[in-house]
Chain A
Amino acid sequence: MANEYHNHKEILLNYIQSPLSEKTGNKISEIIAFIKREKVNQPIIGISLNSSSIIAGAYQLKDRILEYLQERDLNAEIIPLGALGVTSYEPVVTIQLPGKTKLIYKNVNDENIIAILDGTLNNFIPEDHVFAQVKNKLHEVWEQVPFLHEISFFQNQQRLLLSNCGIINPESIEEYISNGGYASYLKILRENTPAEVCQIIEQSNLKGRGGDGYPTGKKWKVALESPSDQKYLICNAGESDPGAFMERLLIESDPHKIVEGIAISAYAIGAQKAFIYIESEYNLAIERLQMAIQQAKAWGLLGHNIFESGYNLDIVVKRGAGAYVCGEETALISSLEGKRGKPRSKPPYPATRGLFGKPTVVNNVETLINVPVIIEKGVEWYNSVGTAESKGTKLFSVSGKVEFPGIIEVAMGTKLRDIIFRIAGGIAKGKKFKAVHIGGPSGGCLGENHLDTPIDFNSIMLTGTSLGSAGMVILDEDNCIIDTVKYFMDFLQKESCGVCIPCREGTRRMHEILENISKRPKDDQSHTTLQRFKGVMQLENLAEVLKDTSMCGLGRKAANPVLTSLKWFRSEYEDHIFDRRCEAGVCQELRTFEIDVDACTGCTLCARKCPSGAIYGTPKNAHFIVQDKCIGCGICYNTCKFSAIISK
């Protein structure tokens, strides 16, 4: 009964094409209300099925729910959902009873779901797992459950791009359309020429969200005006950035928005073929995208002579094979041509000569989903959000030591402090904030004195970092900056394509210099301190040359983590170099160990295992460690059965 809307393809398509005044016909609004679940006839149970929740056991949870319903012979509809945003709450379950607001439960698994269902289906809410209800003027409110829009995490965001995530069924084109989807697309097909669409986007001041911040409309214009028999639009969903997962969750939660964004953009540049380049491991995202494309085709939104406009479009999903450098547009194009992912010299730029030598526009996923929003809400409105030179909103994946890690969307210009403390809930477990690493391997660490920096292209650039793929990792007092920077350098030296000398050799040397200051070699005389210090000075020289001569953004920005941390966290470097001390205790070899004289039983086990012979003592008497000989390996610490060894 609830699936009757599947037969209303025509009605829905007419709905999004009709002017506002006609949108309130009786039959149509009934159908829409059902699809949007403003009216429900039976309980509706939504289960978040996305990468995060699946790892946390969402499939087992779904099976358990089905079992539960079957055992009790209950009627309820189960729908898959995308990600609402707080990844540490997954799996999330929503329960909506007829006439009442939708309830949202967090951290549901196949065991506690029983109590939740038992309760809720009988109008009684078990306290533990419920975290919000969604206010709707048609629905009766539950007692003592906070409203979703009043929860700090959601209240302080501006969710335009994420408006459907966690709300709609990502596998249903009907739901997407009922929520206004594809209206922008059909509108521009009817009313605007490609040049006009380019103009609209240029006027909106939309800037590329892939990291470079290049004006999107300008890029499109170059492609539109390059004469060619064939043009391509490529959606860059190859997010291989460690620490960024928002594109993945976004695609899993609202794949149709991406299809729509691509369709409008392809039309604007005159391309009849579009590719989505997505990481091979993103299985669920690929599945949902392909499903969305199939559905769009079946509904006539893709293919030949779309809606009698004379426009043809074919979208193909291409799986990447695992290379971070393929996020760079020329390397991506190289990969699509069946070659090694080597970046190429620019000029010529891809917009004039790209894939197979044809004009090609490569846009990041986030850039593309801004497009339907801009068309829908208008250029003026879009320009009113954000700062003077960074318009619109920005997505971030926030992770690390915060209370509420997840994907968030804020207006450009929002302060870091607000994001970290108001939205993400501040540092978890009561620890102290140390730094936030923005932008992944091309970004850098910013400390407490930068918390009031607004997030926009310019301000971030001034701090020496770059927005990059906008992954934000928050570090607390137990994290070591040197270690974090070393992690990114290690990533970069492995992911470098190896073509140009500065990046290939330079990232390796920089990583080695960082290793030297976080390790302790057997003979540690003072002249090695000089070498370590010289190494760090060398880092700055290397960084300059890398910035000047690298072929692509990976190499040019490879030095960012190092340079920014040197600038803002110099004291940590000095601790490591001169005092040989890692305050956070992360750099294992710099740990110092001491024996607690009271706890030591003199069993001699540690002394026998010590590889450098640094432990002295006689049997049955307390032993002691000679610091000069200790190399910080920690074997004694792991060996001692009496917890008599303390690590500092």
Chain B
Amino acid sequence: MFIDIVVNNKKIRAKRGETILEALSSNGIKVPTLCRMEGLSPTGACRMCVVEIEGKAGLIPSCSYPIEEPLRIWTHSTRVIRARKMLVELLLSNHPDDCLYCIRNGNCELQDMAVELNVRERRISGEKTKANSDHSSPGIIRDPAKCILCGRCVRVCDEILQVSTLDIIKRGNKTAIATTMNKDLNFSSCINCGQCIMVCPTAALHEKTNFDIVQEMLSNTDIKVVVQYSPSVAVTLAEEFQLKPGKDHSGILNTALKRMGFDWVFDSAFGADIAIYEQSAELADRIINQENLPMFSSCCPGWIKYMEQSHPDMIDHVSTTKSPQQIVGSLIKRYFADKQGIPTEKIFSVSVMPCTAKKFEAQREEMTHKGVSDIDVVITTRELIKLIHLYGVDVASLDEDIADSPFNIRSSAAKLVAVSGGLAEGIARSLSFHLSGKELGELKISKLRNVKDYTEVEIKIGKQEIVIAAVNGLKNVTAVINDIREEKCKAHYIEVMACEGGCIMGGGQPFQKDDKILKSRIKAVYDSDDKESIRVAHKNSKMLDLYNEFLGEKLSEKCMKILHTRYSQREVLL
């Protein structure tokens, strides 16, 4: 069960069969790693984690060596440090020297390793591999010249998302990361989820930024700049601006955005309420008519693109309701603009999202009206944080404010959309209302919280048993789709979130390794639901006003025109 090993002349108790690295981290000894990924099997590829073991000729990678017998280990001997330093120097010798101009300056693992190992001179120099960067995707930019071939992006795309867009190609010093036939991303099966960016140690993968145009528009007095932000954003700000963690800071965010010069600040959660309302109405219809069941959610653009390219036979099952972002976007240009008497070409619509796939969604043809995109620009949470710093806004000193009318009130169900299982919960609550006119006995559905892979819950609405399901992470959707094809699926509604954990862990969120902070984001969301008074979408008064004034009934013709979309098969290199 346990084995005693000696590390740096100190005795340590290790579990039999665990790797050296695991034993070291449970005893407070840190060893640098590069190719290691939490939750996935170690490969021992990068060799950064090597340690010296008595009796072994070479240095051994601690991440993949199981402890089966007593060992004497040195983790920071001269030989080991020299090896690690040389490995980093080798990486640096094939890396562009433009740290000061790089998007990851200050936040780069290669920089961190070079600092930790005290690299002070260019001892190794030589030819650097040249590669063209790929700007073809609206969400993600690939810059292979900065790639240090850790292989994490490939593993995330292949093992965690199971989309497998990227792979390692060629060999030797021509090794590179690329898509099939080395085509640009827009030809490939990439769904723009941005999870690869989240694991990339350098700037080899980063989001396509849109600072310039936002700044330009903000300083253009002719144009009215409108901004909306996703429910995930406000619970993520605490970590960056030294605010109280675990709290929803929408109030402060509203003030900050107004300070920066946005003419109107809207809450995308308003759109989330409409999305829940429309989707649950759609679902109710389908349940009554017993057609096109189960119904899939439609808010996650990564899931939508994946469905269109790999499982186009599921198109009829997907809800036609737009995502919250696009709902608010359409309403801004087709309702709000008119109401304010501003011509649409004078409105510049910005959306702040935790997601890079939203940049793709915004430029979809289906999301345009008369040739103009409803949303002009999507910026990620990371970009927003940089903008806030750029505009010198001292967030910690701000007072709270409310968002602007008419898109400013939200229920807590809308906030739940930020986490996996949350949308399903909101749908269940409003479905009950649509089908039976009554509220659910217990609004909080615990089974849909902290979803692991796939979960189903049975809810009694009137006399019916409705099965609501949630898929957490794209890789878990294939089994469900196969069940649907074999007519074995019992669910009525299936929420699909491509990113594990939901939007709160999206590809546009700040880089965060601290588990506590990640958990505090989720806590903030669940806390809102516990504490707030309006907990269902169909009780959002502002939303109901909008329906009365402009949209008509739920699923009315106007709703279908403005709030619903369509899908079509995509031909990409799968």
Contacts and interface: CB of A to CB of B under 8 A. Distances in A.
A and B touch in their complex, CB below 8 angstroms:
yes
Interface of A: 323, 325, 340, 344-345, 347, 493-502, 504-509, 512, 538, 541-542, 544-545, 547-551, 556
The residue among B46, B86, B151 with the most chain A CB atoms within 10 A of its own CB is: B86
Contacts of B47: 500-502, 549-551
B258 to A, nearest CB: 49
Given A345-B44, A494-B174, 8 more contacts: A323-B171, A498-B173, A499-B175, A508-B94, A509-B124, A542-B124, A548-B59, A551-B45
Given A345-B44, A493-B173, A505 B82 contact: no
B312 interface: no
A550 to B, nearest CB: 7
9 contacts: A501-B90, A501-B149, A502-B86, A504-B172, A505-B173, A508-B126, A541-B86, A542-B86, A549-B59
B516 interface: no
B73 to A, nearest CB: 15
Contacts of A323: 171
Interface string B78-99: 0100110011001101100000
Interface in B33-77: 42-48, 50, 58-59, 61, 64-66, 68
A506 B47 CA distance: 13
A184 B53 CA distance: 44
B34 to A, nearest CB: 8
B86 A494 contact: no
Nearest to B45: A499
Nearest to A549: B47
Interface residues of B, number: 37
Contacts of A499: 43, 45, 151, 175
Contact of A496 (B68, B123, B127, B173): B173
A209 to B, nearest CB: 21
B339 interface: no
B149 A556 contact: no
Contacts of B123: 538
Contacts of B127: 508, 512
A474 B47 CA distance: 36
B168 interface: yes
A393 B80 CA distance: 40
B120 interface: no
B76 to A, nearest CB: 15
Nearest to B66: A347
Nearest to A537: B123
A585 B59 CA distance: 41
B415 to A, nearest CB: 44
B170 interface: yes
A457 B556 CA distance: 85
Nearest to B148: A501
A502 B149 CA distance: 12
Interface string B143-156: 00000010100000
B87 to A, nearest CB: 5
A96 B127 CA distance: 62
A543 to B, nearest CB: 11
Contact of A556 (B44, B58, B93): B58
Contact of B126 (A344, A495, A509, A545): A509
Given A498-B149, A500-B47, A345 B175 contact: no
A541 B149 CA distance: 23
Nearest to B34: A501
A512 B64 CA distance: 32
Contacts of A347: 65-66, 68
Contacts, number: 104
B126 A497 contact: no
Contact of A549 (B68, B87, B172, B173): B87
Given A498-B149, A498-B171, A542-B86, A548 B94 contact: no
A211 to B, nearest CB: 15
A512 B126 contact: yes
Contacts of A345: 42-44, 61, 64-65
A497 B171 contact: yes
Contacts of B45: 499-500, 551
Nearest to B82: A545
A124 B481 CA distance: 84
Nearest to B47: A549
A325 B172 CA distance: 10
Nearest to A494: B172
Nearest to B48: A501
A512 B94 CA distance: 13
A347 B168 CA distance: 24
Contact of B93 (A340, A495, A509, A541): A509
A493 B171 CA distance: 9
B46 A500 contact: yes
Interface in B132-185: 149, 151, 168, 170-175
Interface string B169-206: 01111110000000000000000000000000000000
A545 B173 contact: no
Contact of B90 (A325, A506, A548): A506
B149 A504 contact: yes
Contact of B172 (A496, A538, A545, A548): A496
Nearest to B50: A549
Nearest to B44: A345
A493 B123 CA distance: 20
B35 to A, nearest CB: 9
A376 to B, nearest CB: 36
Interface in B467-491: none
Contact of B58 (A496, A497, A506, A549): A549
Given A345-B43, A545-B87, A497 B172 contact: yes
Contacts of A545: 82-83, 86-87
A506 B248 CA distance: 50
A535 to B, nearest CB: 9
B171 A496 contact: yes
B139 to A, nearest CB: 28
The residue among B43, B91, B124, B151 with the most chain A CB atoms within 10 A of its own CB is: B124
Contacts of B59: 548-549
The 9 closest A-B pairs by CB, nearest first: A498-B175, A345-B44, A505-B90, A508-B173, A345-B64, A496-B172, A545-B86, A512-B126, A549-B47
A501 B172 contact: no
A492 to B, nearest CB: 8
A504 B175 contact: yes
Nearest to B86: A545
A510 to B, nearest CB: 10
Contacts of B94: 505, 508
A508 B91 CA distance: 12
B164 to A, nearest CB: 13
A458 to B, nearest CB: 15
Contacts of A502: 47, 86-87, 90
Contacts of B86: 502, 541-542, 545
A347 B174 CA distance: 28
A362 B43 CA distance: 21
A499 B151 CA distance: 9
Nearest to B79: A548
A501 B171 contact: no
Contacts of B172: 493-498, 504, 507-508
The residue among A499, A501, A547 with the most chain B CB atoms within 10 A of its own CB is: A501
Given A347-B65, A504-B149, A548-B83, A340 B168 contact: yes
A495 B175 CA distance: 11
Contact of A498 (B58, B83, B90, B170): B170
Nearest to A500: B47
Contacts of A498: 149, 168, 170-175
Given A493-B173, A496-B172, A545-B83, A501 B46 contact: yes
The residue among A340, A498, A542 with the most chain B CB atoms within 10 A of its own CB is: A498
Nearest to B124: A509
Contact of B91 (A495, A501, A544, A556): A501
Given A506-B90, A549-B50, A538 B168 contact: no
